[in-house]
Amino acid sequence: MSTFDYDLFVIGGGSGGVRAARVAAGEAGAKVALAEEDRYGGTCVIRGCVPKKLMVFASGYGGMVEEATHYGWDMLNRGFDWQTFSGHLNNELDRLEGVYRKLLAGSGVTTYDARARLKDPHTVELSTGETFTAKHILVATGGRPVRPDMPNAHLGIVSDDIFHLENLPKSILIIGGGYIACEFACILAGLGVDVTQYYRGAQILRGFDDEARGLIAESMRELGVDLHTGTNIVEMDCYREGDDDGMDAPVEATQYAMPVKDAPQEGPLKVKSTNGHIKVFDQVLFATGRRPNSDDMGLEEIGVTLGRGGAIEVDEYSQTKVPSVYAIGDVTDRVNLTPVAIREGMAFVETVFNGNPTKVDHDLIPSAVFTQPELGTVGLTEEQARDQEPIEVYCASFRPMQSAFADKPGRVLMKLIVSQETRKVLGCHIVAPGAGEMIQLAGIAVKMGATKEDFDRTVAVHPTMSEEIVTMRKPMRTA
């Protein structure tokens, strides 16, 4: 008979932790508890993938109405109502959180709405004062957005705050060039916000294919985003009426409904940038990175090693240096994607409770950036591949039929990176509406090791954008 209160205690109610708890309890028959200090569903469901994708959908309808006129439709566009949308959004998030709670209860998992920390390798202490012992402890606490280390950074918001805005700002400055910054720049521009974006690097979306991210930057500017690369924020403070010294243009007193007085965090902000410009924005969003949630959990005290930025160091089976303690998901800072955290949770249960040591394959993971248009990617970029071996690059960039008919400027990109020696497709990169849907299917072929000739043998679906993936016969270049 076990001397522990639980076979498994999971800390964190996000997608990875919930999946591990459910499978361990419902399928492996383990006695499982889970503690979550905030809302069930974690970053993805509550403050990330799901609400953000719903905002992507919302932001696209304005352009659809305009485009529809070219197709003969006479449609009325009365503008976007944030209160209507946010009300529906909050209801949906409440519903999804309820689903997560029901799934845990249905699997026999005991849940605690409390913060948890490790007291020793087998003991968890809750903020309620309760302590429980467990044979195995799984840390799945995710990550959080961070503000830069600069004066008045608290005046700005981070990605978590977007979903709680009472009103949309008229203007916003977004700091950062990663996928979160670029996605919200497109979303907010699509909702009618005047968006400016500063990124200190030479090009946005560092780490993605150069040609693809160049097209995304061009498309964002066409969407109306005032994108400045090689630019960063120097100073930020609250703006007070009449404080127009050095500004690009004076601010009219009627521009803001509530001038800043005793609550500067609720009013416009005056920002100076490295390019010398001084401007006023309703809001500033910092999308400058994330950090694992490993602080004040007692991890290092019991021997768990924390790496760069507080990431929990684990082996290929998600086990820490303390044998009874495992960690999965963003808190390990391996591949910070929800489906990866879920896979890691499943592999953990298979390893620990089913006696089948299972590693998670972190190679060739498809992913998408939900800009407008979207970027779908799997495998190596052109730059990574050419540093590895001789390659051929097949690509096509064109205006898709739907946009061309409506006389819209947007272009799409279909790109394959092919090994000259093995003929395998090393990478696939798509910039297009619906690229996230396309790359999921292309990812299967790339993961299976398909060659360029395998793609060529596949008959095209016509007329589609994606048919270019199987009709490109001659390489654009070799490297």
180 annotated to bind ligand: yes
Lookup: tokens for 35:
């503690």
Lookup: tokens for 10:
């999971």
303 annotated to bind ligand: no
Nearest to 341 by CA among 376, 298, 299, 293: 293
Nearest to 31 by CA among 135, 126, 138, 141: 135
Report the alpha-carbon distance of residue 298 to residue 291 in Å, rounded: 17
Reduce the DSSP state of residue 110 to 3 states and report it: strand
178 annotated to bind ligand: yes
Report the alpha-carbon distance of residue 99 to residue 15 in Å, rounded: 12
Do 340 and 360 form a contact (C-beta atoms < 8 A)? yes
Report the alpha-carbon distance of residue 36 to residue 126 in Å, rounded: 10
Report the alpha-carbon distance of residue 278 to residue 235 in Å, rounded: 9
Report the alpha-carbon distance of residue 349 to residue 10 in Å, rounded: 12
Report the alpha-carbon distance of residue 177 to residue 165 in Å, rounded: 22
The beta-strand segments (E) located in 297-381 are 325-327, 367-369, 374-379
Residues with catalytic function = 462
192 annotated to bind ligand: no
Report the alpha-carbon distance of residue 148 to residue 139 in Å, rounded: 26
* Partners of 431 in beta bridges: 375, 413
179 annotated to bind ligand: yes
Nearest to 142 by CA among 290, 9, 293: 293
Nearest to 371 by CA among 236, 174, 232: 174
Type and span of the H or E element at 404: helix 401-405
Which residues, including other chains, have CB under 8 Å from residue 321's CB and lie 6 or more apart? 303, 304, 305, 313
53 annotated to bind ligand: yes
Report the alpha-carbon distance of residue 91 to residue 100 in Å, rounded: 15
106 annotated to bind ligand: no
Query: Could you tell me how far CA 7 lies from the centroid of its own chain?
Result: 33
Do 290 and 143 form a contact (C-beta atoms < 8 A)? yes
Nearest to 193 by CA among 219, 218, 215, 226: 226
Lookup: tokens for 336:
């910070």
Which residues are known binding-site members?
53, 176-183, 289, 330
Which residues are known binding-site members for FAD?
53, 330
Which residues are known binding-site members for NAD(+)?
176-183, 289
